[in-house]
Structure 1
Amino acid sequence: MKHPGFEYTLNYPLFKAIFERRSRRISKGIKAVRAGSLTYTSIQKPQPLELLEEAVLILVAMGFTGRTTPDRPFQDEQNKNIMATPNLHMIGRSAGSPDNAQGTYFFLINDSGTYFLRRPQDQEPIDIYNTEPEKLIEFAEACKQKLLDKRLDMPRQMPYYIGSNRFVSNVEGSTILMPIVDVTWQYINGLMFLLTQPDGQRPAFTDEMKFNRYAGIKRWVKSGYLNKDMKIPLGMLEAMRTQLEAPLVLQNLMLVLQAMGLGGWIHASFPGSVLTGVPKTNFKVAFQFDYQKPSFKLNNILNWLTYSHGVRPNPIGLEGVFQGLCPPYVKTMSDAVDRVIAEKYGKRGVYSDKDYFEEIFKNEGLAEDYIKQVPHYPREVIEVTKDVCNYIYDTYKRFPAHTDAIHVPGVWLQAHHVDLDYYDHLFHDAYTEVNAMHQEAWHGEK
């Protein structure tokens, strides 16, 4: 069944969305905007997003957008194998992700409750142009894991809300999408990818929190497998760029808000320590995540004095919701590395899925040839990675040590219905025709 608002959104021009994208912070239901002579009093009632409106946002945030192609060379100029299997996933998402790690998840907050969003297992790519709205709603609902029966909120003051945000953020009628990133899988995968360089170009990882000593790889430097003159401090790796996916998804969501005629903006969220419940905090917390809590060691005295990452409690997962790839969820970091290898090359691994590649390659037999021929990680790469990961955990009793396992970007996106009367009252051209026609197109109101 056709839905006029949804159809209009699907055909909204990209460049129009880019150039008309604006933060429109005033939503229906905000009773007063106190601003001196610009003060505005509203008679509008809060209007929550309907299921289809929310489903479109969830699809952009979490959905499978189609198949990706294995279009990397895997031989050099001398026809020697080079690494071409870095991906942790092959199905695409709405935003780029380092090695397609897709470590970004979302909390969704609305009037009906607080949810964790995850993609359903074995979900096929969704063709949004040829999928009935009811099916999109089914997909969105399947992504939701309800955590609270109410809107997650905090006192309207620092550190929970900053400045004027406390009057317009996370208000009745709004839908909040808050990203959270599992760094652990891509941290391991990224280490392995760095180690697949040619002879003489494989880096030697050092630990700047331990006076730049080798990070468990001394024997590999001594053997010449790693280049002693190409040192990379572990802290320089940060989160292996895994954190870059979240803001890209948020930007896509902003463009979709414009195409739908909704208001909203990206702004500061609850701090990571508040969201995950860092131990011994004096503030209210949203959830109590599992934490790795490094114990005091005399040889870590400098880390303790500066309170560097190596001695901070490390958020690693939320019971019954999701878990990072590190102890205690795996026995050792060697087991964690083996999990990554199995995810890529095991019986049901990313690079073992013949059915997937048969959908991608045109000619019969190419899928099987690709699976047989594409190089895997050499044994030495896996062993070095295990040595580095075990060094990190054995030294700091947390993994990673130079960044957190669970990264909280500290921003969220709010979606809401715009109070057009406010913008009409004060401004010239503060919204576009799609904002003006939203109620008619999406809700049948003249």
Structure 2
Amino acid sequence: MSQNPSAQPHPEHDEERGLQETLRYPLFDALRNRRTRRVAKGIQSIPAGSLSYTSKHEPEPLTPLEEALLIASTGITGVTLPDQPFLTEDGKPLVGSPMVDVIGRTAGSPDNAQATSFFLINDSGTYFLRRPQGDDALMLAGGQLTAARLIAYAEKCKVKVSDKRIEFPRQYPYYMGRNRYMSNVPGSTILVPVVDLTRQYINGIMFLLTQDAGHRPTFIDDWNFYRVAGVQKWVRNGFLNKDQKIPLGVLGTARIPYEADFLMQNIFLVAEAMGLGAWIHAAFIGPVLLGDPEYRNAGNSLRFRYHTPRNLVRQALKFISPLPSWRPNPVGLDGLMQGYCPPYYGSMDEAVDALIAHKYGPNGLYNNPKDFEQVFKPGLAQKFISEVPHYSEEVIACAKDVCNYIYETYDRFPAHADAMFVPGVWIQMHHLDLDYYDQLFSNGYSETQARHEELWHGRR
């Protein structure tokens, strides 16, 4: 990763000392000392009357090791534990096999969907952080964390998508109020989450359909006169309970984005342990960040692929139709984040089939004991994958009908949320301008921030 000279690695013994101090930093000290500290070295101006401030320092970007440790705080920690019942009291299949992935990260995720990806923004450009594949995926799951291992892991994650920072005019609707003075400034590193809702949205529908007989809900469309959402035959044949209804709007984002919030808290705590400044605040809204056609020429977006609904009736009624049902849908970033929906699949049937293949295909999650062998006692992984129930044919077929109803009605999937969801916040890390805090505050920073220059950069 090319950076300006001030961002080049400092002497190894200095950074290794900082790394080891960080790894020993007590969790409760990180919780107790966690504060939003917004003022970075090189800040141009903080206009605040008699408390105004302009930094006397040059911006100081994070080093590759500092960034690598932050990247690792969102990364992979090993294999999850499938410690759940999968049979009812009378031996019938219960829930099936809900997990979407077996690899665990530093934060929990619904059905371990791990749908959150991060983009890293710094002075050298904008990067997509992909999950390393194969044996590289677990390279940090065990053993000692060294500078070399962390930097190697980070480099396997980073894919440059732009030579520039993501940037837009420093006014609303791009920056909120005072944020324009301190957000996304030179020298800072930003991690911004984008969540692929599609895979777990489909999986969540199937999860709901695995409930006990008589308790499977009937999907209705609360944006379309509460009509049955494509599952009439499943109501007629008794597979679904007509008296137990679930509006599609209730699904919303299907609780998938909460993992992004947990991951950002982890990043914040690691930044505190490192002695960096950190700040979670309003990011560019989804259409701006991802490159909605309406905003694409206003600045340097991520330029996601968008699918514009072609439903003329829906377009004509857009003034009384809830958002985002008639808006262009961000469906993916080609080759990096591709939603389980058209145009990446020819139909919603194909998208559902792809998810089923991911779970149960020849190399699927529930058809290969290799990963589960890392957490089960010897011999038990094979028993688990042999006995755990799969989603039934009825569950898969009914889920396809719901997904097809959504796509055929709204010409987008999902309809009640965007395929690629932007939580609307990001986290910025930077080297603190301690002079600002010394000038204005008593105890404005912790001992960790006070010693960062010494521990990480060999400067007193």
TM-score band, normalised by shorter chain: over 0.9
Q: CA deviation at 1:101?
A: 0.5
The yes-or-no answer on 1:35 pairing with 2:48 is yes
Partner residue, 1:346: 361
Change (3 A) 1:75 1:274: same
| C-alpha spacing 1:33/1:299, structure 2 compared with 1 (3 Å) | closer
SS of residue matched to 1:360: coil
1:265-276 equivalent positions in 2, closer than 5 A: 265-276=279-290
* Counterpart for residue 149 of structure 2: 135
Q: Give the Cα–Cα distance (whole angstroms) in 2 for the partners of residues 374 and 223 of structure 1.
A: 27
* Residues 1:25 and 2:38 aligned together: yes
| Pair 1:217 & 2:198 matched | no
Deviation beyond 4 Å, 4+ runs, structure 1? 299-304
**AA aligned opposite 2:73:** V
Q: Which residue number in structure 1 is paired with residue 67 of structure 2?
A: 54
Q: AA paired with 2:369?
A: K
Quote the Cα distance in structure 1 between the aligned partners of 2:242 and 2:127.
48
Deviation at residue 296 of structure 1 after TM alignment = 4.0
Q: CA deviation at 1:332?
A: 0.9
**SS of match in other structure, 1:181:** strand
Q: Is the 8 A contact 1:91 1:125 kept in 2?
A: no
Question: In structure 1, what is the Cα distance between the partners aligned to 2:28 and 2:331?
Answer: 40
8 Å Cα contact 2:358-2:365 kept in structure 1: yes
**Counterpart-to-counterpart distance in 2, 1:335 and 1:209:** 25
> The residue matched to 2:260 in structure 1 has which SS?
helix
Cα gap change, 1:127 to 1:289, in 2 (>3 Å): closer
CA RMSD after TM alignment: 1.6
Query: Residue type matched to 2:420 in 1?
Result: I
In the TM superposition, what is the alpha-carbon distance from 1:42 to its structure 2 partner? 2.2
Find out whether 1:395 has 2:409 as its counterpart: yes
Asked if 1 retains the 8 angstrom alpha-carbon contact of 2:314 and 2:321, the reply is no
Q: Does 1:97 align with 2:104?
A: no
Segment drifting more, 352-361 vs 375-384:
352-361
Task: Give CA-to-partner distance per residue, 1:131-156, whole Å, 9 cap, x none.
Answer: 32112101101111111112221111
Quick one: distance in 2 between partners of 1:290 and 1:81? 39
Unaligned 5+ runs, structure 1 = none
Tell me if structure 1 keeps the 8 A contact 2:230–2:402. yes
Helix, strand or coil for the counterpart of 1:291? strand
Rounded to whole Å, the distance in 1 between the matches of 2:50 and 2:287 is 38
Aligned partners of 1:365 and 1:80: how far apart in 2? 24
Q: Which moved further from structure 2: 79-88 or 282-291?
A: 282-291
Distance 2:450 2:96 in 1: 49
Q: Secondary structure at the match of 2:128?
A: strand
Conserved in 1, the CA contact under 8 Å of 2:314 and 2:326?
no
2:379 maps to which of 355, 365, 386: 365
- Alpha-carbon distance, 1:307 to partner: 4.8
Match among 415, 418, 431 for residue 404 of structure 1: 418
1:65 and 2:77 aligned? yes
1:86 is aligned to 2:98? yes
- Matched residue, 2:3: none
The 1-side partners of 2:266 and 2:161 are apart by 26
Matched, 1:203 2:217: yes
- Is residue 112 from structure 1 mapped to residue 124 from structure 2 by the alignment? yes
Letter in 1 for 2:312: K
The answer as to whether partners of 2:196 and 2:337 remain within 8 angstroms in 1 is no
1:124: Cα distance to partner? 1.8
Give the C-alpha shift of residue 75 in structure 1.
Answer: 1.5
SS of the residue corresponding to residue 71 of structure 2 reads helix
Asked if 1 retains the 8 angstrom alpha-carbon contact of 2:308 and 2:327, the reply is yes
Q: Deviation of residue 116 (structure 1)?
A: 1.0
Q: Which runs of 5+ in 2 are unaligned?
A: 1-11
CA contact (8 A) 1:65 1:125 kept: no
The one-letter code matched in structure 1 to 2:82 is: P
1:178 counterpart residue number:
192
Cα displacement string for residues 318-360 of structure 1 (whole angstroms, at most 9, x for unaligned residues):
2343211101110110111111111111121112221212221
Within the candidate set 204, 210, 216, 1:190 is matched to: 204
Q: What SS does structure 2 have at the residue aligned with 1:65?
A: strand
Which of 347, 350, 361 is equivalent to 1:332? 347
**Of 303, 328, 332, the match for 1:313:** 328
Q: Identify which range, 433-442 or 114-123, moves more after superposition.
A: 114-123
TM-score (norm 2): 0.93
Q: Which moved more, 1:150-159 or 1:48-57?
A: 150-159
Percent identity between the two aligned chains? 54
State which of 258, 264, 276 in structure 2 corresponds to 1:262. 276
Question: Which secondary structure state, in structure 2, belongs to the residue aligned with residue 415 of structure 1?
Answer: strand
1:80 to partner: Cα distance: 2.2
**Does the CA contact (< 8 Å) of 1:73 and 1:84 recur in 2?**
no
1:304 Cα deviation after fit: 4.6
Cα distance in 2 for partners of 1:248, 1:310 equals 28
Q: Within 1, Cα distance between the matches of 2:324 and 2:79?
A: 38
Q: 2:170 maps to which residue? A: 156
In 2, are the aligned partners of 1:304 and 1:311 still within 8 Å (CA)? Answer: no
Aligned residue for 2:307?
292
The answer to whether the 8 Å contact 2:218/2:242 transfers is: yes
Paired position in structure 1 for 2:9:
none
Q: Is the 8 A contact 1:176 1:415 kept in 2?
A: yes
Which stretch shows the higher mean deviation, 47-56 or 113-122? Answer: 113-122
Number of residue equivalences: 444
CA distance in 2, matches of 1:307, 1:297: 15
Contact 2:229 2:402 in 1 (8 A): yes
Change (3 A) 1:128 1:12: farther
Judge which range, 113-122 or 294-303, deviates more.
Answer: 294-303
Conservation of the 8 A alpha-carbon contact between 1:67 and 1:125 = no
Deviation at 1:74, TM superposition (A): 1.1
Q: Measured at CA, do residues 150 and 280 of structure 1 come closer, stay the same or move farther in structure 2, by a change above 3 Å?
A: closer
